[in-house]
Structure 1
Amino acid sequence: MEMQASHGQTRVAGWRCICHSPSFLRLNARLSEALGEAPEPSFGLPSSSHDIVPREANAANAATPAAAAGGSAPASQSAAQTASQRGASAASQPHPPAVAFTNIRLFDGKSKTLRSGYRVIVSGNTITAVEPDDGQKLDGMQVVDGGGHTLMPGLIDAHAHIMMTSLPMNQLMVADIGFIHLAAASEAERMLMRGFTSIRDMAGPAFSLKKAIDLGMMTGPRIWPSGAMISQTSGHGDFRMPYEIPSHPGQSLSRGETLGAGAIADGTAEILKRAREQLMLGASQLKLAAGGGVASSYDPLDVSQYTQDEFRAAVDAAENWGTYVAVHAYMPRAIQTAVRGGVRCIEHGQLMDEGTAKLLAAEGIWISLQPFLDDEDAIFFPEGSPSRLKQIEMSNGTDTAYELAKKHGLKTAWGTDTLFDAKLATRQGAQLAKMARWYEPADVLTMATRINAELLAMAGPRNPYPGKLGVIEAGALADLLIVRGDPLANIQLIADPASNLALIMKDGRIFKDTLGVAFN
């Protein structure tokens, strides 16, 4: 736009649309190439899409060539720190030469025991071979000597809230959305450094963070986003103040809706619209609130939310896009109504009964359970508060829920559902290790790898990362960890990732390496 002065006033001389300017076309080409789309003419744009990453990130990556080749880091940095810094920009770089993992014990996500005498070959972002290790030199490959430690698939948290994990609720209610995104990006990197290479995000505006991670602008896990949790008035996702009721047409959105954490909808027409909005934004699955919750203010645990027809509206929207609906629910009536409405996954379910478990088994419905106990990992609520009383009632049902899930052979996923607490977020691995209260360690790790990956794959064509995850086999995506020691013998190794994760690979790129990569 050009401005010209006339008789002491400034007027618009004319608009020049930027849509066909060289700078705009270069930016569009970068984004198109990075997203795998057919690029527009480059107009001199560098050919590799990683150039979209800020120059400082590439400089930081180039600053550690010795570490990349297995050399020593500067004295002021630990090997793990150097590897983490290298990984922060690794996703923006072309894939390295093929990598061979040797001298390992293998947990493949399928077997109940570790296997020795094998090597695993990774080319690009894919595992190309799991084969007997004959000791033959592998020319031209990077070689990781696992030191006899355990190679296993990357961990998957099937119920995460990356946008709300580390900030207290009172901050989330007032903070600028930019600050929330920055806090979430920081937490995403820490999550990957804990060995969680994939998460299913079950409410929150995670779309932009996911895109930034996928483009290599940020470091973090793969994200299957649900977008805003759809909730009825007075439901688990309604965090409005009483003075905002009664609502009226044209009323401003609530804080939770403005952030994209929740979407309040009543009746099939509104639910259908809100469901389609989340799919438009990029949801890989939908999340609805089906019953009372702990953190919410207006819904006792026994309250059922939405009718069968209302669930069906969301399910119809999801199925039209080839994906599914999951719901927050604890109580039998809430769970059963959701299942009759076509819902395919129940989140929580701590207070289900025998009849409900039988229904889930008969219909092949997933249950995504969390190890909620009244212990050091419980989200803090003031003693005597309504939320605290609900929390105690809910967590008292956890043992029974796991017993029913095992008795009836339910498809059971694992997740943390950590909210509002940065310190609690650091215990993600500890909460997985806690599952040994109900399962053998091999079953715990299988649940957090192969089984959780099967749940992720239910997104069908909305799966943002086509390919097999959660297993180590030829053709699977290369999300891998090396754990010092034997986690099948000592599941507590997972609880201390800083000490016990020697290597972290996501999508064929190494983000942490304390072993050193050598070249043959």
Structure 2
Amino acid sequence: MTTAIINATIFDGTGRDPIPNGTLILEGDMIDRVGAGIELPRGASVIDAAGATVMPGMIDCHVHLFGKVSPVHERPRFPVSLQLFHAAKNALRTLDSGFTAVRDAGGSPQGVKMAIADRLIPGPRMKISVGALSQTGGHGDETMPSGVRLRSTSGAGAEWPETLVDGPDEVRKATRELLRAGADFIKLHATGGVLSPTDEPTDTGFTPEEIAIMVCEARARGKTCMAHAGRRASRTLLRPGWNRSSTAPLWTKR
């Protein structure tokens, strides 16, 4: 199907001046031509975008589309099947906000990504981590002071491998299981956070040896890693050649 968007101000993101009264021709999902004075293909579906601006889709590099986010202690009240519908709603809302690709940093199983790719639900293209690795007592450990553990950001079983790990052997196995479950990259919690019940945002987690294992296993499958990391943890991450710290403060020297 051919679609023509006409009379738009076209911003292409390259640094060049916007194109006034521009035309954009789509062939199916692909952009075929962009510019001014383009002749419309015969039979094209025409969208008059006079007064509007057309720009490239944005990319959000840190989202959590899956499930109902807060409050944490309320999450176990909702079945996984309901959380899937929340994921569909979040995916549509993200797409409608102009984001055509996202990096989901924990929670979404590969079925959500596949449903969007197969056009069962509308949403942005996804890269997923499936889960996020955490040490015991770290940011990903939702064990409450009562001793009750809330595996609440996801379900259990093969689609969501165990992510609470300690020591080289557990880290290696969990990394491999996440990759088997469809992870496009490995996410880890190298710093504490505000939503986890037994740590502080300034805490650090995982040893350099454990982190190096994650990086090694990811690279063996042609994948990368990302981290929830603050200032001190970012220094640790640099030792194994780290380059994907998505929450490090901007003033951390690399």
TM-score, reference length from structure 1: 0.45
Please identify runs of 4+ aligned residues in structure 1 that moved more than 6 A.
Answer: none
Match of 1:299 among 199, 205, 222: 199
Cα distance in structure 2, aligned partners of 1:137 and 1:217: 31
> One-letter code of the match for 1:102?
I
Match of 1:189 among 75, 86, 92: 92
Q: Shift of residue 142 of structure 1?
A: 1.8
Q: What is residue 173 of structure 1 aligned with on the other side?
A: 76
Q: How does 1:426-441 map to 2 (within 5 A)?
A: none
Cα distance in structure 1, aligned partners of 2:205 and 2:81: 32
Shift in alpha-carbon separation, 1:240–1:337, aligned structure 2, 3 A: same
Q: What is residue 481 of structure 1 aligned with on the other side?
A: none
> One-letter code of the match for 2:198?
Y
> One-letter code of the match for 2:151?
R
**Does the 8 Å contact 1:105/1:116 carry over to 2?**
yes
Q: Shift of residue 254 of structure 1?
A: 5.6
Match of 1:218 among 118, 121, 133: 121
Shift in alpha-carbon separation, 1:262–1:155, aligned structure 2, 3 A: farther
Does 2:3 correspond to 1:104?
no
The structure number with the bigger radius of gyration is: 1
Q: Shift of residue 224 of structure 1?
A: 1.1
**Does the 8 Å contact 2:19/2:35 carry over to 1?**
no
Match of 2:104 among 177, 201, 212: 201
Cα distance in structure 1, aligned partners of 2:59 and 2:181: 23
The structure with higher relative contact order (CA 8 Å, sep 6+) is 1
SS in 2 for 1:156: strand
Cα distance in structure 1, aligned partners of 2:74 and 2:143: 16
Match of 2:132 among 203, 211, 229: 229
- Report the more deviating stretch, 110-119 or 176-185: 110-119
Cα distance in structure 1, aligned partners of 2:161 and 2:171: 15
Q: What is residue 151 of structure 2 aligned with on the other side?
A: 255
The number of residue pairs the alignment matches comes to 250
Shift in alpha-carbon separation, 1:110–1:153, aligned structure 2, 3 A: same
Shift in alpha-carbon separation, 1:192–1:262, aligned structure 2, 3 A: farther
**Does the 8 Å contact 2:68/2:86 carry over to 1?**
no
Match of 2:213 among 310, 313, 330: 313
Q: What is residue 22 of structure 2 aligned with on the other side?
A: 118
SS in 2 for 1:283: coil
Q: CA RMSD in A?
A: 2.3
Match of 1:338 among 232, 237, 249: 237
> One-letter code of the match for 2:83?
I
Q: How does 1:77-476 map to 2 (within 5 A)?
A: 97-111=1-15, 113-134=17-38, 136-164=39-67, 166-244=69-147, 255-256=151-152, 258-259=155-156, 260=160, 263-330=163-230, 332-350=231-249, 353=251, 356-357=252-253, 359=254
- In percent, how many aligned pairs have the same letter? 32
**Does the 8 Å contact 1:335/1:346 carry over to 2?**
yes
- Unpaired segments ≥5 residues, structure 2: none
SS in 2 for 1:295: coil
**Does the 8 Å contact 1:204/1:261 carry over to 2?**
no
**Does the 8 Å contact 2:68/2:83 carry over to 1?**
no
Cα distance in structure 1, aligned partners of 2:221 and 2:137: 28
Q: Shift of residue 156 of structure 1?
A: 2.0
**Does the 8 Å contact 2:145/2:197 carry over to 1?**
no
Q: Shift of residue 266 of structure 1?
A: 0.8
Cα distance in structure 1, aligned partners of 2:91 and 2:35: 33
Q: How far does the alpha carbon of each residue in 1:221-276 deviate from its partner, in whole angstroms, 9 at most, with x for none?
A: 2221111100001111001134549xxxxxxx862474439710111211111111
SS in 2 for 1:275: helix
**Does the 8 Å contact 1:167/1:183 carry over to 2?**
no
Shift in alpha-carbon separation, 1:127–1:183, aligned structure 2, 3 A: same
Q: Shift of residue 101 of structure 1?
A: 1.9
- Unpaired segments ≥5 residues, structure 1: 1-96, 246-252, 360-520
SS in 2 for 1:345: coil
